[in-house]
């Protein structure tokens, strides 16, 4: 072994070796019939690895490597999402730099150019996953626009059509005026903006004074341009200020249209004046209120974000210019009450930053009431469980409240809807144009719907479409249903829940049993990670600087809560741990020539470390079993750094130097066990060390996981007294009496008291411990502290109190 561990060279070598030897393939190393399946959330085909990917990849790889070592037929399915608007946006930007638009090319040429660009520069993230050490079955890579996958998408759309769940209707959508398409909620970014809240008087049509404002009702709006589309004024039914106004008409400024005052519980009495204008064509809540009250839906803003023809003399103006004209008109007539600064969250397109226009648009929709019922039942019955529990409750609630799904997008890149129209506009849904023509009749001209499907429609089929559905393939039989899905919380509604209901609809079974909602990694200062904010951190840079193992370790270590601040210190700790492991392996192996690993555990420290390894195995299995990766990582750290390196290795070192064959054989066997436990978290350094052990018949990646071994359990706390003696000596220089020759030998080998110059003051230490006992006892006697403090804080105080009493007893200060 080299003196220093160099992660860059070792990691690249093992990534290439594992893949070349087929050890990432589905079923590699299998020793049992059960499968274990995870599908990687398909990243955008245009994307790069970011910290969310790196954390999620580390989590999934831990689970996959663990189950592979347990002998399961593992499949970690890789692939990409075609990413509709994201990909189209990139290519359109390239065209803009050339002075062109997609319309200059035409649809067919634009799609061809997009494919060409993807083949040249897309699909890079899988190579970055390789840098992380992710053991995906890269040979099975799928793409949501592959020919076979596209067939699955069409088959599912036709299935929903035949179920009667797909319909076409004018409803309100998130509209991007730059991209000229409807977009999903996930693609809307809410940004805090400074605006102006305009208070406008809407006079009563009958001219009689009444209500809170005498001669009318005052309405507050941040968008005066939309006044032209007002069809009502709404107040809360319990708002006493407007009790007499409900049922009367008011006059809408500028257009001077009579509209009713209505009562609706969705109105917030605390906003503005408590009365709101109802503009169904340009506000989601207003749209819902308007539908419930049977109100008209005029649209005065067009798809380009400018005033439409319905705006009359303001048609063609920007909204800002229309705002100015309308406010001037209102002010001239004395209907302007006041204007004031207003800061609020505004929906913008995450790609172009254009302000989203809520617009009523003719789109294709999928009903969600009936399709969602089996998924809701599966979640309530815990056939699928979200972790943590708070996200499980949210998943059920979001399905119960799921609105109908807008399926269509006004793009060219994606799955074109399998819908054709007869000359009279009647739609035909079919798998192919030939099939549609057969339905229409010979000679009937057909026109295909130009829209494409929402990207999430195809990704909802990921767990079974990647396995060959709609065909009944051997892979589908072997690997569906899967086991775990892991992702971030913002796509619970958009992806996770949809995979559950599509799986139940198509396969008759849930696609997985557990959903991990992993931590969202924030910037060190607590802000969100963002390239534009300058808070983004590239995980490839941390891999280059510290290694993939260290990066994986650091991300897993900080993954204890839903929002965590990134800590480079955790990654640096991972690098130190890898180096510590390398050094202890060199210590054991440098004098091990000709000695085969075997257990000849006779010395106290040998029995103790084997007991500690087995105890750590149980703790790690329990933590990983409940998807607590931070706790498991912490257990592995202390087992390696403290127990194995600082205590066991130091205690056994004299025997290793003396070429004690039994000690060397046992040390190698203990090291094997430690490497096995560490491998899912630190795969590269463990595989590298493993390769230096004698008689390696298999790579560590497919070697058996540790079986429970209770032979040495009685010695799990055998060094507790010695370790407490070491803590006291290092703190105060005071030595306490140890009970056996083994304890004294281990204390001398590990602590090396002869290097301590100053003599300890036992009486001072006794006094200090008495004070600590008094402090801890007082805290634990305080019912308020015990009742209100976190359980782990109380437990820590109880543990400290017990330790102080033992130390005091060891010094002859009575308590023990």
**Which parts are annotated binding residues for ATP?**
531
Long-range contacts of 761-765 (CB under 8 A, 24+ apart): 761/732, 761/733, 761/734, 762/734, 762/811, 764/732, 765/728, 765/732, 765/734, 765/811
Task: Characterize the bridge pairing of strands 142-143 and 79-80.
Answer: parallel
Q: Write the Ramachandran bin of 437: left for phi over 0, alpha for psi from -120 to 50, otherwise beta.
A: alpha
Q: List, as residue ranges, the binding site.
A: 531
Distance CA 550, CA 543 (A): 8
**Structural contact between residues 467 and 473, judged by C-beta atoms closer than 8 angstroms:** yes
Output the 3-class SS for 631-685: HHHHHHHHHHHHHHHHHHHHHHHHHHHCCCHHHHHHHHHHHHHHHHHHCCCCHHH
Peptide bond before 149: cis, by omega within 30 degrees of 0?
no
3-state secondary structure of 553: helix
CB 413 within 8 A of CB 82: yes
Report in angstroms the alpha-carbon separations of 216 from 241, 249, 326.
12, 10, 18
Helical residues (DSSP H) of 427-522, grouped into ranges: 433-440, 455-459, 462-465, 474-479, 497-507
Closest C-alpha to 460, from 511, 422, 417 = 511
CB atoms closer than 10 angstroms to residue 167: 14
Distance CA 549, CA 61 (A): 12
Residue with tokens 């559950």: 500
Query: What does the alpha-carbon distance between residue 520 and residue 535 come to, in Å, rounded to a whole number?
Result: 14
User: What is the SS3 assignment for 435?
Assistant: helix
Measured between alpha carbons, how far apart are the two ends of the chain, in Å? Answer: 47
Determine contact, residues 88/114, Cβ cutoff 8 Å. yes
Give the sign of the dihedral formed by CA 499, CA 179, CA 145, CA 123. negative
Nearest to 184 by CA among 84, 52, 91: 84
């Amino acid at each position: 072994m080299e003196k220093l561990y160099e992660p860059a060279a070792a990691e690249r070598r093992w990534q290439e070796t594992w893949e070349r030897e087929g050890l990432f393939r589905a079923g590699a190393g299998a020793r049992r019939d059960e499968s274990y399946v995870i599908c990687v959330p398909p990243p955008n085909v245009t994307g790069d690895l970011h910290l969310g990917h790196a954390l999620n990849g580390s989590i999934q790889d831990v689970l996959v490597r663990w189950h592979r070592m347990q002998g399961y037929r593992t499949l970690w399915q890789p692939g990409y999402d075609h990413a509709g608007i994201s990909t189209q946006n990139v290519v359109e930007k390239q065209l803009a730099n050339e002075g062109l638009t997609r319309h200059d090319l035409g649809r067919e040429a634009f799609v061809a150019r997009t494919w060409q660009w993807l083949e040249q520069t897309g699909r890079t993230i899988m190579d970055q996953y390789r840098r992380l050490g992710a053991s995906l079955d890269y040979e099975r890579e799928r793409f949501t626009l592959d020919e076979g996958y596209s067939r699955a998408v069409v088959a599912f759309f036709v299935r929903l059509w035949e179920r009667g769940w797909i319909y076409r209707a004018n409803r309100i959508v998130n509209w991007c005026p730059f991209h000229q398409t409807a977009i999903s909620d996930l693609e809307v970014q809410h940004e805090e903006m400074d605006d102006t809240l305009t208070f406008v008087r809407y006079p009563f049509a009958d001219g009689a004074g009444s209500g809170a404002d005498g001669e009318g009702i005052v309405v507050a709006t941040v968008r005066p341009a939309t006044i032209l589309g007002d069809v009502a004024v709404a107040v809360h039914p319990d708002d006493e200020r407007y009790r007499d106004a409900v049922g009367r008409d008011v006059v809408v400024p500028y257009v001077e249209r009579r509209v009713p005052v209505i009562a609706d519980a969705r109105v917030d009495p605390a906003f503005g004046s408590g009365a709101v204008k109802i503009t169904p064509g340009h506000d989601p809540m207003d749209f819902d209120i308007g539908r419930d009250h049977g109100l008209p839906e005029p649209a005065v803003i067009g798809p380009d974000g400018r005033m439409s023809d319905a705006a009359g003399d303001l048609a063609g103006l920007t909204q800002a210019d229309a705002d100015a004209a309308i406010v001037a008109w209102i002010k001239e007539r004395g209907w302007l009450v006041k204007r004031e600064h207003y800061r609020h969250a505004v929906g913008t397109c995450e790609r172009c930053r254009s302000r989203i226009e809520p617009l009523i648009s003719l789109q294709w929709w999928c009903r969600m009431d009936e399709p969602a019922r089996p998924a809701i039942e599966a979640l309530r019955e815990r056939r699928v469980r979200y972790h943590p529990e708070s996200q499980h409750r949210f998943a059920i609630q979001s399905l119960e409240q799921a609105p109908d799904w807008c399926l269509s997008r006004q793009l060219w890149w994606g799955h074109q809807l399998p819908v054709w129209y007869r000359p009279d506009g009647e739609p035909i849904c079919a798998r192919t144009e030939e099939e549609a023509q057969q339905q229409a009749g010979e000679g009937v001209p057909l026109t295909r719907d130009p829209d494409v499907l929402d990207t999430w429609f195809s990704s909802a089929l990921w767990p079974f479409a990647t396995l060959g559905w709609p065909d009944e393939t051997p892979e589908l039989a072997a690997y569906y249903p899967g086991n775990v899905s892991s992702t971030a919380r913002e796509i619970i509604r958009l992806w996770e829940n949809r995979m559950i209901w599509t799986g139940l609809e198509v396969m008759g079974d849930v696609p997985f049993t557990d959903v991990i909602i992993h931590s969202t990694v924030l910037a060190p200062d607590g802000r969100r990670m963002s390239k534009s904010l300058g808070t983004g951190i590239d995980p490839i840079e941390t891999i280059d600087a510290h290694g993939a193992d260290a990066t994986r370790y650091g991300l897993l270590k900080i993954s204890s809560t839903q929002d965590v601040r990134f800590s480079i210190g955790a990654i640096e700790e991972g690098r130190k741990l890898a180096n510590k492991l390398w050094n202890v392996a060199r210590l054991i192996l440098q004098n091990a020539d000709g000695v085969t690993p075997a257990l000849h555990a006779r010395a106290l420290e040998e029995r103790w470390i084997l007991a500690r390894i087995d105890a750590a195995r149980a703790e790690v299995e329990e933590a990983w079993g409940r998807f607590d990766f931070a706790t498991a990582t912490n257990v592995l750290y202390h087992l390696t750094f403290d127990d194995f390196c600082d205590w066991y290795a130091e205690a056994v070192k004299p025997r290793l130097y003396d070429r004690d064959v039994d000690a060397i054989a046992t040390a190698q066997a203990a090291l094997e066990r430690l490497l096995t436990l560490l491998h899912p978290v630190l795969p590269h350094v463990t595989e590298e060390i493993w390769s230096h052990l004698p008689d390696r018949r298999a790579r560590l990646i497919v070697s058996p996981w540790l079986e429970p071994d209770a032979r040495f359990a009685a010695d799990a706390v055998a060094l507790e007294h010695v370790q407490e003696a070491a803590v006291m000596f290092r703190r105060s220089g005071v030595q306490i009496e140890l009970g056996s020759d083994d304890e004294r030998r281990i204390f001398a080998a590990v602590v090396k008291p002869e290097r301590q110059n100053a003599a300890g003051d036992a009486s001072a230490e006794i006094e200090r411990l008495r004070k600590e006992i008094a402090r801890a006892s007082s805290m634990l006697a305080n019912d308020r502290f015990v009742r209100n403090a976190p359980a782990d804080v109380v437990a820590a105080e109880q543990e400290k109190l017990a330790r102080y009493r033992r130390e005091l007893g060891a010094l002859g200060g009575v308590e023990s």
